[in-house]
Chains A and B, each alone.
Chain A
Amino acid sequence: MSGAIDTLRLTAEAAMGLLERGEVSSAELHRAYLDAIAERDGELHAYLRVVEEPEPDAHGVPIALKDIIGTKGIETTAGSKILEGYLPVYDSTVAARCKAAGLPFLGKTNTDEFAMGSSTENSAFGPTHNPWDPTRVPGGSGGGSAAAVAGGLAPWALGSDTGGSIKQPASLCGIVGLRPTYGTVSRYGIVAFASSLDQVGPTTKTVRDCALLYRVIAGRDPCDSTTVDVPPVELPDAEDLRGTRIGVPRELNEAEGIEPGVSEAVKAAIDLAGGLGAEVEECSLPRSVEYGLPCYYLIAPAEASSNLARYDGVRYGYRAPATTRDELYERTRDEGFGDEPKRRIMLGTYALSAGYYEAFYGQAQKVRTIIAREHAELFERYDVLVSPTSPTVAFELGARTANPLAMYLSDLLTIPSCMAGLPGLSIPCGLSEGLPVGLQIVGPQLAENTLFRVGHALERALDFDFVPERLRPVAA
């Protein structure tokens, strides 16, 4: 049977059907994906390491995990040389939940170092390539998980999102990504970047797959006191959007730098939503977009500089040769961290240092309040807000690596809702220049079911083919 599995097209839901009907075993599915990895991952480099043998009691659909997610006994590097060889001695809660659901691990996927980046080019272990066009980036930081799912190397995968690291790669790779409401998915055992923003979420081929995987991972965890109770996850099946009020924030849809082809595809999807019965109206987020990015690039590096203080060469990870303790810390960190973590540690340390704290970090926290308020006001009138996920389609490898600020702009449209802890779903809504465009659907806190319902209805109507064009079988 496994020879007949089309890993490029098989959804997780369809794979569950095969398992339930006994047409294939979990081990056969696992093997089929390992075969696909052997065939195509040389080109894509979605995986940092592959798990050859599934857990003996696994009985579900295999899954890939971003290498930010701690897995007991399986090397977890966060894409950094400083964690090379690190073998967690316990499972993260999300990994444990996947195991409890019987999902065998396919492997750990590539990520920008410590999830800092928008292209996966900051990985210490080399970049991942976009399955639609290997000369282009898959987005980041979760480019490995997105490329694995889009390239048929995993039926579904988990990523983590701080300012767009699930949604933006999903957009650039033509698949579905959910950044859940802050606090719905445990961060226990996840390599920390910016703790008030980090959130784990699914990367999948369809919205229904996304809901199915979210159901596995969401819920309160005694090991993470920032988690909350989550409403039961509903599998979406409605085909229309009657009664749904959709807001189209001007600033998110007309921001400078949005490519015309992206705008066009998103507008067409919004028109389609109107055709499905939704009430669509333009609205405004006057300060959230303009000040969101600056706010994020103060708060996230500040929290990162604190979180990354733990990498000192003493208890785990890389250690540089040294004769004194100070030299041990300083050389370990200089040699172990790549350019982007160093940049953010320096920026964050500066923003938190005496004399600058109020002007930078304190002020950014107040901007965060403004962003949350602006969104809350809109959700009194709208069920969801829509916009492009990324201003551009996948860009060429190397195009933004020389200019950190240009790279940071990749997350212009995903960051505002992240700052307010809101859930956001990205679904593919068309092509521009032969590359996927993502539609971002943002809702109020804990409104994942609404996002799934809207996303599913639109996905059906859009009928986007998630198999990259160049990988589709040529018709005879």
Chain B
Amino acid sequence: MAIEREDVLHVARLARLALTDEEVERLGRELNAILEAVGKVSELDLDDVEPTSHPLALVNVWAEDEPRPCLPLEDALANAPERAGDFFRVPGS
């Protein structure tokens, strides 16, 4: 199940990380070591066990559908690296 260089590049692409060559090499090595360790979970036969996605058994926490003031526009844009009028500005392509 060893991770190859192409796998690292594929996952980096999914995660939108422009890794340097040095990072691709190092992360490949580290991920292989970590996956070997965490792959231990597959030893257990858990076919009839329900997965736990959350530690509390909460379901459907409802709230009244009442309009409330939302974040003011200036606040929403306050940390923008670049803005154009009332918009976040990004490169065109």
Q: Which residues of A contact B78 (CB under 8 A)?
A: 87, 89
Of B23, B38, B52, B88, the contact of A342 (CB 8 Å cutoff): B23
A368 to chain B, nearest CB (A): 4
| Known contacts A226-B56, A228-B56, A342-B23; A330 and B16 CB within 8 A of each other | yes
Please report the C-alpha to C-alpha distance between residue A467 and residue B7 in the assembled complex, in whole angstroms.
50
Please report the C-alpha to C-alpha distance between residue A309 and residue B17 in the assembled complex, in whole angstroms.
10
Give the residues from 18 to 36 in chain B that come closer than 8 angstroms, CB to CB, to chain A: 18-20, 23, 27, 30-31, 33-35
Give the residues from 51 to 77 in chain B that come closer than 8 angstroms, CB to CB, to chain A: 51-56, 58, 61, 63, 71, 75-76
Interface size range on B against A: 35 or more
Contact assessment for A298 and B38 in the assembled complex, using a CB-CB cutoff below 8 Å: yes
| Known contacts A228-B56, A366-B51; A317 and B79 CB within 8 A of each other | yes
Interface of A is mostly: helix
Q: Which residues of A contact B76 (CB under 8 A)?
A: 89
A213 within 8 A of B: no
Please report the C-alpha to C-alpha distance between residue A309 and residue B27 in the assembled complex, in whole angstroms.
19
Give the residues from 276 to 306 in chain A that come closer than 8 angstroms, CB to CB, to chain B: 287, 290-291, 293-295, 297-298, 305
Number of A-B contacts (CB under 8 A): 172
Q: Which residues of B contact A242 (CB under 8 A)?
A: none
B50, B52, B58, B63: residue with the most chain A Cβ atoms closer than 10 Å: B52
B11 within 8 A of A: yes
Please report the C-alpha to C-alpha distance between residue A65 and residue B24 in the assembled complex, in whole angstroms.
36
Please report the C-alpha to C-alpha distance between residue A364 and residue B44 in the assembled complex, in whole angstroms.
10
Q: Which residues of B contact A323 (CB under 8 A)?
A: 91, 93
Q: Which residues of A contact B11 (CB under 8 A)?
A: 346, 349-350, 353
B73 to chain A, nearest CB (A): 11
Contact assessment for A329 and B16 in the assembled complex, using a CB-CB cutoff below 8 Å: yes
Contact assessment for A226 and B3 in the assembled complex, using a CB-CB cutoff below 8 Å: no
Please report the C-alpha to C-alpha distance between residue A183 and residue B54 in the assembled complex, in whole angstroms.
10
Contact assessment for B80 and A315 in the assembled complex, using a CB-CB cutoff below 8 Å: yes
Residue on A nearest B50 in the bound complex, by CB: A369
| Known contacts A196-B53, A324-B93, A343-B30; A314 and B88 CB within 8 A of each other | yes
Q: Which residues of B contact A298 (CB under 8 A)?
A: 38, 41
Of A182, A291, A314, A337, the contact of B41 (CB 8 Å cutoff): A291
B85 within 8 A of A: no
Contact assessment for B93 and A325 in the assembled complex, using a CB-CB cutoff below 8 Å: yes
A379 within 8 A of B: no
Interface size range on A against B: 35 or more
Contact assessment for A317 and B81 in the assembled complex, using a CB-CB cutoff below 8 Å: yes
Residue-wise, chain A 187-205 has the 8 Å CB interface mask toward B (1 for contact) of 0000000001100000000
B49 within 8 A of A: yes
| Known contacts A297-B37, A334-B18; A347 and B31 CB within 8 A of each other | yes
Give the residues from 356 to 375 in chain A that come closer than 8 angstroms, CB to CB, to chain B: 359-360, 362-370, 372
B46 within 8 A of A: yes
Residue on B nearest A348 in the bound complex, by CB: B15
Give the residues from 401 to 450 in chain A that come closer than 8 angstroms, CB to CB, to chain B: 404-405, 419-421, 445
Of B40, B61, B63, B91, the contact of A328 (CB 8 Å cutoff): B91
| Known contacts A89-B71, A404-B34; A367 and B41 CB within 8 A of each other | yes
Contact assessment for B51 and A362 in the assembled complex, using a CB-CB cutoff below 8 Å: yes
Of B30, B42, B88, the contact of A359 (CB 8 Å cutoff): B42
Q: Which residues of A contact B88 (CB under 8 A)?
A: 314-315
Give the residues from 219 to 268 in chain A that come closer than 8 angstroms, CB to CB, to chain B: 222, 225-226, 228
Contact assessment for B91 and A334 in the assembled complex, using a CB-CB cutoff below 8 Å: no
22 contacts between A and B (CB under 8 A): A89-B71, A89-B75, A89-B76, A89-B78, A90-B71, A290-B40, A293-B37, A312-B16, A315-B88, A342-B27, A345-B17, A346-B15, A346-B17, A347-B31, A347-B34, A349-B14, A359-B42, A364-B41, A365-B51, A366-B51, A367-B41, A369-B46
Q: Other than the known A86-B79, A365-B51, A368-B52, what 6 A-B pairs have Cβ atoms closer than 8 Å?
A: A87-B78, A89-B76, A183-B58, A346-B31, A368-B51, A405-B33
Q: 5 tightest A-B contacts by CB?
A: A421-B55, A316-B79, A365-B51, A330-B18, A319-B81
- Give me the interface of A with B, judged by CB distance under 8 Å: 86-87, 89-90, 182-183, 196-197, 222, 225-226, 228, 287, 290-291, 293-295, 297-298, 305, 309, 312-319, 322-331, 333-334, 337, 342-343, 345-347, 349-350, 353, 359-360, 362-370, 372, 404-405, 419-421, 445
